[in-house]
Structure 1
């Protein structure tokens, strides 16, 4: 079982269900204090988790695709400092739809939600993270250009590759930043988004994701890692 820490704090963006919710549970079990977000009006399981957390979980609302709401969240959290900012929000689309078939608006929806918005959130909230802290985003092994030998899921792959590229640009602009920066590939997990054929259960993925994140604490610079801590090819 994880050994509870004491005074660590996590800001977790996108935690109403699936991998995000599991990360909130995992870090509470590790003794962290967590601020986790959902979209307004969703009334997710986070509220029940908060009620059972002895005050260690606070639920906030934000739509990452709305810069005004992201700015409002930043203002509400202005008195906080965090050891870890982790952004988990993302969407998928019809996995069989090729780039020749996808509607322009659908392409824009996936790209904005998976690449543009997470980076805007990172830009807005990163100054809440202490110099010894970690900035992380949930990516995917399907964001690897080098490993894309099978094709499929073209729009989703492109969105995660774009996210990875934007994160590399962020790291280049902040090359003197002492904080760890992470892109995490959690594996193919059986969730609403990953589908029932996923190779891993949430219980097989998320504790190892948290282990991998925690193991990088204090290591400056950007890494693209899978849930077992192995480097993923760009």
Structure 2
């Protein structure tokens, strides 16, 4: 039985990933930032019974993450670093909320790395360890556009972190990829987005199911298609 760890599962894509994995009968460990997110996640994990577990940590807080990781003594086969934010209203190159964007970089760029580092001991125990950094096509340096510079920069930074982490962990046979979940109808994506959370989560899980070391250091969307870095 595979063991999945979803960081950031109080709502949206993370919550749906946890729900679908629980329905599969997988072992699921999922995190929320605070107690306010527990009830929804408990409901999603209910089908997993004792195979579902909730951790509480803010990805900006390394000590909280370390304490949570210390509670997990089983191998982790797939870690999806999903927790993220969209950032402040003012985040373009001509009008920037610098403090707000610095916090956004802390959450979106460094938060996933904190989580990955904390759970490396459990990933090293797996026979097919995989790390998925939840990015966005907006992080692609090949993509044009000037809106939401802070968010774009945070995901571009995450993509570079993904590349470096993949290179560092290749000798340990741990695959690492960046993932674009699609434009999804969530609080972040808005009501006009093209995908439901169910469709996005199904695609993400399908891609991660098939991921091996040969596919490390890639930038993929929820269908498994390549995105230009």
TM-score for both structures, normalised by structure 2: 0.92
Q: Say yes or no: does 1:126 pair with 2:120.
A: yes
- Compute the displacement of 1:220 (Å): 5.5
Query: Whole-Å Cα distance in 1 between the matches of residues 216 and 64 of structure 2?
Result: 29
Confirm or deny: 8 A CA contact 1:36 1:59 kept in the other structure. yes
- Compute the displacement of 1:198 (Å): 1.0
Specify which of 137, 146, 149 is matched with residue 133 of structure 2: 137
Q: Say yes or no: does 1:80 pair with 2:74.
A: yes
Distance 1:143 1:175, change over 3 A: same
Residue aligned with 1:45, SS: helix
Query: Whole-Å Cα distance in 1 between the matches of residues 114 and 13 of structure 2?
Result: 21
- Compute the displacement of 1:51 (Å): 3.6
Query: Whole-Å Cα distance in 2 between the matches of residues 36 and 17 of structure 1?
Result: 11
- Compute the displacement of 1:103 (Å): 1.7
Confirm or deny: 8 A CA contact 1:14 1:36 kept in the other structure. yes
Residue aligned with 1:192, SS: coil
Q: Say yes or no: does 1:226 pair with 2:221.
A: yes
**Cα RMSD over matched residues?**
1.6
More helix by share: 2
Distance 1:49 1:204, change over 3 A: closer
Query: Which residue in 2 is equivalent to 1:89?
Result: 83
Specify which of 2, 16, 20 is matched with residue 8 of structure 1: 2
Q: How many residues align?
A: 226
- Compute the displacement of 1:218 (Å): 4.9
- Compute the displacement of 1:186 (Å): 0.6
Q: Say yes or no: does 1:39 pair with 2:36.
A: no
Q: List, as ranges, runs of 4+ consecutive aligned residues in structure 1 with deviation greater than 3 Å.
A: 94-97, 217-220
Specify which of 205, 209, 214 is matched with residue 214 of structure 1: 209
Query: Which residue in 2 is equivalent to 1:188?
Result: 183
Distance 1:50 1:126, change over 3 A: same
Q: Say yes or no: does 1:171 pair with 2:171.
A: no
Query: Whole-Å Cα distance in 2 between the matches of residues 85 and 10 of structure 1?
Result: 6
- Which moves more between the two structures, 132-141 or 12-21? 132-141
Q: Say yes or no: does 1:204 pair with 2:204.
A: no
TM-score for both structures, normalised by structure 1: 0.90
* 5+ residue gaps, structure 2: none
Confirm or deny: 8 A CA contact 2:93 2:146 kept in the other structure. no
Query: Which residue in 1 is equivalent to 2:105?
Result: 111
* 5+ residue gaps, structure 1: 1-6
